[in-house]
A and B are shown apart, each in its own frame.
Chain A
Amino acid sequence: MYSKIIRDALIITIMKSKHFIKNPLSFIVIAAFPLIFNFAILWLSGYKSLVNAFSGTMILMIAFSGLTIVAQGINSERKNRTLSLYITSPIHPLSYGLGVALSSLLQSILNIILTIAIYILFTGEIRNIVGVNIFLLIPVFILTWLICITNGLLLVSLIRNWQIINIITSFLPFLYMFLSPIYYSYKYLPYYLYLLVYMVPLTPCVIAMKSILDNDLSNIWINLSVAIFYVLLFLLLTIKKVQWREK
Chain B
Amino acid sequence: MTRLYRLTTGGKENLVTDEFLTTETTYSEDRVAPFREQTQYTADLDSLGRVLDWVMGDGAERFDDRSDLDAAVAPAVREFVNVPRRAAADEGIWHYLSIVWRPDYVRYRWTLERGNSSLTSLREKFTKSTRDLYAPAFARLWFMADFTKSDGGYRTTEKILKRQYSANRLFDRTDLRQRPVIRAIARVAYDLDDDEFIDDDDVFETVAKAVSHELTTISAESVGVDGMEKLVRQKYDRVTG
Binding between chains A and B: no
